[in-house]
Homo-oligomer: A and B are copies of this chain.
Amino acid sequence: MALINENYLKLKAGYLFPEINRRVKAFAAAHPEAQIIRMGIGDVTEPLPPAVVDAMHRGVDDLAKRETFHGYGPEQGYDFLREPIAKNDFQSRGCDIAADEVFISDGSKCDVGNILDIFGPGNRIAITDPVYPVYVDTNVMQGNTGVATQKGEYEGPLYLCATAENNFTPDLPKERVDIIYLCYPNNPTGTVATRETLTKWVEYARKNNSIIFFDAAYEAYISDPNIPHSIYEIAGARECAIEFRSFSKLAGFTGVRCGFTVVPKSLNGFTKPAASAVGKPVPLYNLWMRRHTTKFNGASYITQVGAAAVYTDAGKAQVRKLIDFYKENARLIREGLTKAGLKVYGAENAPYAWIKTPDNATSWDYFDTLLTKVNVVCTPGSGFGTAGEGYIRLSAFNSRANVEEAIKRISKL
């Protein structure tokens, strides 16, 4: 009798975005005339940079001719992509990261989920709240949690609340945790971590032999020169952190699928200590290499050729323009809705505005209000965790016209 992974049965029904889709679909069916503006899911709307488009056409043509055909590539990614990443994203910022510590993948969501494969049972997990739901759900699947409580949390992980009261910057845990998820610039709150905050985390992790999973998917949206783009800008992070990056929000790759994960060779996990002994250190690099080469077969050649174009001069300029476009959307949202009397957080060094619901409405109530009264789709904050209750997220990924229209409509409420 084939036994299932019963941890899946602990998962609460419905991932956030399918539920949003369901409500929007039902509303649209009942009101076919409504001009719905979707500011919910954080999906890009602008076309790929021309340098990427040209490169991908060349990549397709390479596969059309025997002489330039590429079959299986290295599972870890082509050097033509790993090298510019190491140079531009890390070494140029003073981070000591080598090209062979960069693992190219088909997207950060996969990596963030799959990374747990190389970790054992018995780790205490710390997750900020509100948070990208994938962090939580993958831990449930892995058996790192108990069942869901009535509050909507799961038994087991330590939830680090990020609310207006603590300036969306949770304190360090008082207790020992083994794996810590940090996402900066933050999804969903749009807040950033200062060098001081990250330094405290690195010190904590090194003291406790904990590992930080640092999700930097939105680093390109940082304009404040004092905010680190990578955890490896902090001394000691090579000994305690894995960093996840994505081309999705950098260069419009949500439909193209490319990301990468940095696992420094100096980073250790531990075997389970016997009573009164310490565990043996094991390089996580070797374990991730094994996972990556055994359960993955490399990202598409065409995709990687496209991603490499992001690091050309033309690509850099075009990507900058794309990011600036979305950042201007974010500024309009922040300023427009603040002017309309809403309390707006984030949206300065991030593509997300995190907005307090008026009149202490619940997140889903305000979601329904925005959907039904002004036909704007947001993401209810409570979908990101219990500490997100009473907030909504608006995404800056949209056309200028839609952003302006959405601000106008919400302001009228």
Contact = CB atoms under 8 A, between A and B. Distances in A.
A174 interface: no
Nearest to A259: B297
Contacts of A298: 255, 257
Contacts of A106: 106, 257, 297, 299-300
A326 to B, nearest CB: 13
Contacts of A137: 294
A351 interface: no
Interface in A221-257: 252, 254-257
Contacts of A293: 15, 18
Assembly stoichiometry (copies):
2
Contacts of A8: 118, 287, 290-291
Interface in A120-175: 120-123, 134, 137-138, 141
Contacts of A294: 15, 113, 134, 137-138, 141
Contacts of A60: 53, 56-57, 60, 302
Contacts of A69: 45-48, 252, 255
Interface stretch (A87-95, A270-278, A366-374): A270-278
A324 interface: no
Interface stretch (A195-203, A208-216, A330-338, A355-363): A208-216
Interface in A264-312: 269-273, 278-279, 282, 284, 287, 290-291, 293-303
A211 B2 CA distance: 6
Contacts of A114: 295
A22 interface: no
A291 B4 CA distance: 13
A282 to B, nearest CB: 5
A41 interface: yes
Contact of A45 (B66, B287, B297): B66
A118 B72 contact: no
B3 A279 contact: yes
A64 interface: yes
B271 A3 contact: yes
A107 B299 CA distance: 10
A137 to B, nearest CB: 5
A25 to B, nearest CB: 13
A256 B301 contact: yes
Nearest to A68: B47
Contacts of A6: 120, 271-272
A44 interface: yes
A1 interface: yes
Contacts of A46: 66, 69
A138 B295 contact: yes
A297 B249 CA distance: 14
A110 interface: yes
A34 interface: no
A19 interface: no
The 9 closest A-B pairs by CB, nearest first: A113-B295, A4-B269, A43-B71, A71-B254, A255-B301, A1-B209, A3-B120, A2-B211, A70-B255
Interface of A: 1-6, 8-9, 11, 15, 18, 41, 43-48, 50, 53, 56-57, 60-61, 63-66, 69-73, 106-107, 109-110, 113-114, 117-123, 134, 137-138, 141, 178-179, 208-211, 252, 254-257, 269-273, 278-279, 282, 284, 287, 290-291, 293-303, 399
Given A3-B271, A256-B301, 11 more contacts: A1-B210, A3-B272, A5-B120, A5-B287, A48-B69, A53-B64, A63-B255, A69-B255, A134-B295, A254-B297, A300-B303
